[in-house]
Amino acid sequence: MSRFILVSMLVAVTVAGCNRFPDNGLQIVANLPPNDNCVLTADQEVRLLRGSYDITYRDWASGQPRDYIIAPLLESYLISNALEFQGEQNNLQVDNFDITILLPDGSMPTLPDGLVNPYRVDTSAVLEAGEEGGAPSEEVAAAIGIPASYQSALQGIPSVILEIRAGGTTFGGFSQRSAPFRWPVDICEGCLTVPACTIEQAADSCLHHHSAPDALS
């Protein structure tokens, strides 16, 4: 995976003209399903309406609980600002998701001590800057949506909503944070009929994730 050097120059961050998201350069627009080989691509046409998390499913080899994996489709509305004497500054490295577990009524569930909510998980995706008046650039970024350590705390809860915000930094050093994207997840016991993807399988790029999510201050 390439290493990117953030250039510490003050440059204007401009957003492509678009009536849909005029004030934000980064958005989550969908959650994508992996194909049979656990591969995710931004150009696939299938979109999920909601997810299912089987809290009784165990890895067949280790017997350990499995994380719930998300694969948000990201869009960047930042337009190119490359100059003859300066490289592209508006390419966007997305490296995290801030996630809050909510109940369907919008309230937060009561979780045992030691389980943080909201929390931050790592991901990795680079969205290239677009052209003035052109379509936004797209990329998919896999991540842990619900860590396996939360399984027992979710017993007896029929469904939750994951409120997800993507975050990253432009090559020019400007932070970007998307508006919240709400993703409904049905909690079930014994409903999974096919093996789920692991984060390593679903990741089409180098991902570095924590065994436990980071609490958000």
**pTM across the whole model:** 0.77
Strand extents, DSSP E, 8-127: 26-31, 51-54, 68-70, 72-76, 92-102, 119-127
Measured between alpha carbons, how far is 8 from 60 in angstroms, rounded to an integer?
48
What's the whole-number average pLDDT of the chain? 78
Q: Is the pLDDT of residue 206 over 50?
A: no
Q: Which residues pair with 124 in a beta bridge?
A: none
Answer yes or no: are the C-beta atoms of 143 and 70 closer than 8 Å: yes
Cβ-based neighbours of 175, under 8 Å, separated by 6 or more: 167, 168, 169
Between 18 and 114, whose confidence is greater? Answer: 114
Residue 105 has a pLDDT of 96
Q: Which residues pair with 187 in a beta bridge?
A: 53
Q: Is the pLDDT of residue 149 over 60?
A: yes
Q: Is the pLDDT of residue 75 over 80?
A: yes
Band (pLDDT 50/70/90 cuts) for residue 198 is low
Measured between alpha carbons, how far is 164 from 148 in angstroms, rounded to an integer?
18
Between 85 and 71, whose confidence is greater? Answer: 71
Cβ-based neighbours of 148, under 8 Å, separated by 6 or more: 64, 65, 66, 67
Instruction: Give the burial class of 206: count Cβ atoms within 10 A of its Cβ; 0-12 exposed, 13-18 middle, 19 or more buried.
Output: exposed
Q: Is the pLDDT of residue 195 over 70?
A: no
Residue 145 has a pLDDT of 95
Q: Which of 23-27, 115-119, 174-178, 212-216 has the highest mean pLDDT?
A: 115-119
Cβ-based neighbours of 73, under 8 Å, separated by 6 or more: 28, 29, 30, 31, 32, 42, 138, 139, 140
Measured between alpha carbons, how far is 143 from 34 in angstroms, rounded to an integer?
12
Band (pLDDT 50/70/90 cuts) for residue 205 is very low
Between 9 and 58, whose confidence is greater? Answer: 58
